[in-house]
Amino acid sequence: MGRRRRPAGRAAGTGTGARALPEAIAALCRTLPAGPGPETFRRAKFDLPEAAPALWRLLSCVLSPRSEADTTGSLTREAQVRLVKSAMRSQGYPRPALFQLPEDGSQGSRELLLALSWLLARGPLIEQLLARTRVRLGDEMPVCECEDLACGRASPGLPTPSKDADSCVDVRHVQWLMGKLRFRWRSLISSHQEHCALLSKIHKYTQGCHSDRNLGHLSVAETELLRDPEGGQQLLQMLEFENVRLEAALEWRRLEQVFWQWMDTVLGASPPDSPNAGSQPTFLPSIPERVAGELELVSRELQALQKELQEAVEVRRASWEAQVRGQGPEWSAEMRASKEAVGQELAALWQAWEREGSLAQPHRPNRLVRSEAGAPPGQGLWATEAIGALRSKEACLEAVLCWLQGQSQQELAKLAGALPGVIWIPPHGR
């Protein structure tokens, strides 16, 4: 089995299964970041333990959060196993066998292969991984705040540290932290302003230099590589490496179907399972196609589905009401419990759907291009439009914040009013 070059004229995916499968797997290995060799996949089909460590490593690299992607190489096997298990659980992986695999990471290669395939099937995993480590040649500026937000929240899954006497803080400490945060935001904003001014200068001074006429000027990275040849060499190497991975990804897309046929056999070979007690419903893959005609079709499907559900609900309700008449008082407790359970399930469904819904539209990266006002944007986006959108978002958020603050203020004013012997004067403007 080698990485044979496919003749250009061959139709996609219709090569004989025997020849196309090794190529597909080889392409997959070339495009994955910590890609194991193709041998690993074959061994994993037969659940051989030699394949397990490489697959644990691969999955932990793939599943680790964006900011820590570089450090997974240094994790111990046990840490990798734990990371993979918790990440797969939170993504709603349906098969419980994965979570029962031993912590030392010595077994379970077939289950890991199934887990990897599940991830590949659900979403544009390859593209996401490539985008994560993309070489940024231009000066980029996000026009939405999503990336900032993702980092700034305390992760809910953190184990709460033990509560002891030392962890009680005074409210003044909280005030101090808030003040510190405000100060940091101010510094950040002013640094950004300086950065913008410098970028603008660099773009202006290098107008007309770029080999790509659409871009016109150099970016900081490009200018830097002219200043520092060693850095430039590194950048070139990274680019070439990324090109190899991109080509592998394209080849993978051409040959993918053969892989899925093979995975069917792998699935067949593994023993059937019973579901987890609290397993989440899984979701069909996200394919970010937004062609209007297909949306129309899907919409019609959903409408038909809704009608079906409506009829089913009517039937069920009628039959249930007939049944419930004969029930005693303890029934209401049962009802409540059922309602809660079902409510939770539906909420989980909805939440996961929402979360994936927002993730399904990855924001396109933006490369800053200095250009004359009034020129046609072509494929691009004018900053003025982005500014307009941000302004309306700003207004919206400000309104919500004001309202919330108003709510608190009303309540506190009431409480303060009840204090004996004290006059309460709110600060100016409120």
Partner 1 sequence: MLPADCSLRLVAELRAALDACGEQQRQLDQSLRVCRRLLRAWEPTRPAAPEPTPGPEPNEEDPSPACAPSLQDLTELELLTQALEKAVRVRKGISKVGEGDKAPSLKPRTVATPPATTTSVPPQAPGQAGNGTSETRSPRGIRQPKVPARSLPEHRLLSTRERTSLGRGARATRPSLGDQQVTPSVTPLVPEAFTLKEKGTLLRLPMAFWKAASQNAHLWAQIDSTQASDSANAAARTRFLLKMQAAVSCQACGSLRTGGRLKELPGKSQHGMTREALGSAAWATVLAPTDCVQEYRCLLLLEGLQATVGQCLHWLQELRKGGADAAWSPQPLLYSSTQELQTLAALRLRVAMLDQQLHLEKVLMDELLPLVRTQRPCCAAVCRAVHSLLCNGGQHFPTVLQDEPAD
Contacts of 215 (CB under 8 A, 6+ apart): 138, 367, 369
Cross-strand partners of 140: 367
CB of 137 to partner 1, least distance (A): 6
Assigned token pair, 224: 């830097």
- CA–CA separation, 386 and 144 (whole Å): 9
| In the complex, least distance from residue 99 CB atom to partner 1, rounded to whole angstroms | 13
Lookup: tokens for 156: 């809910």
Q: Residues 2, 274, 328, 329: which binds partner 1 (CB under 8 A)?
A: 274
CB of 93 vs partner 1, minimal distance in Å: 9
Q: Taking a C-beta distance cutoff of 8 angstroms, is the pair 58, 50 a contact?
A: no
User: Which of the ranges 21-29, 82-90, 99-107, 140-148 carries the binding residues for partner 1, by CB under 8 A?
Assistant: 140-148
Which position among 272, 328, 329, 330 is part of the footprint of partner 1 (CB under 8 A)? 272
Q: Which of 46, 49, 273, 332 binds partner 1 (CB under 8 A)?
A: 273
Say whether residue 1 binds partner 1 (CB under 8 A). no
Q: For residues 77, 248, 365 and 361, what is the CA-based torsion angle, rounded to 10 degrees?
A: -80
Q: Is 265 in the site for partner 1 (CB under 8 A)?
A: no
Cα separation of 74 and 293, whole Å?
Answer: 48
Q: Binding residue for partner 1 (CB under 8 A) from 10, 65, 182, 234?
A: 182
Can you tell me the distance from the alpha carbon of 334 to that of 317, in angstroms, rounded to the nearest whole number?
Answer: 17
Nearer to partner 1 by C-beta: 76 or 330? 330
**Site for partner 1 contains 269 (CB under 8 A):** no
Q: Which of residues 321-360 bind partner 1 (CB under 8 A)?
A: 323-324, 327, 331, 334-335, 338-339, 341-343, 345-346, 349-350, 352-353, 356-357, 360
Of 19-78, which residues contact partner 1 (CB under 8 A)? none
Q: Least distance (Å) from partner 1 to the CB of residue 77?
A: 26
Provide the token pair at 308. Answer: 């079906």
- CA torsion angle 410 414 419 420 (round to 10): 130
The answer to whether residue 229 forms part of the interface with partner 1 (CB under 8 A) is yes
Would you count residue 422 as binding partner 1 (CB under 8 A)?
A: yes
Is 14 a binding residue for partner 1 by CB under 8 A? The answer is no
Q: Buried b vs exposed e over 177-199: b needs ≥16 C-beta within 10 Å?
A: eeeeeeeeeeeeeeeeeeeeeeb
The verdict on 382 binding partner 1 (CB under 8 A) reads yes
State the number of binding residues for partner 1 (CB under 8 A): 217
* Cβ proximity to partner 1, 18 vs 422, nearer residue: 422
Backbone angles phi, psi at 140, to 5 degrees: -110, 150
Q: What Cα–Cα distance (Å) separates residue 11 from each residue in 17, 253, 261, 325?
A: 13, 12, 17, 65
Instruction: Choose between 37 and 402: whose C-beta lies nearer to partner 1.
Output: 402
- Of these, 205, 234, 269, 332, which contacts partner 1 (CB under 8 A)? 205
Q: How far apart are CA 89 and CA 115, in angstroms?
A: 11
Given candidates 8, 11, 171, 333, which one binds partner 1 under the rule CB under 8 A? 171
Positions in 67-126 near partner 1 (CB under 8 A): 94-96, 114, 117-118, 120-122, 124
Q: What is the rounded CA–CA span in Å between residue 178 and residue 408?
A: 17
Report if residue 175 touches partner 1, rule: CB under 8 A.
yes
Residue 406 amino acid letter: G
Only segment of 38-46, 49-57, 76-84, 405-413 that touches partner 1 (CB under 8 A) = 405-413
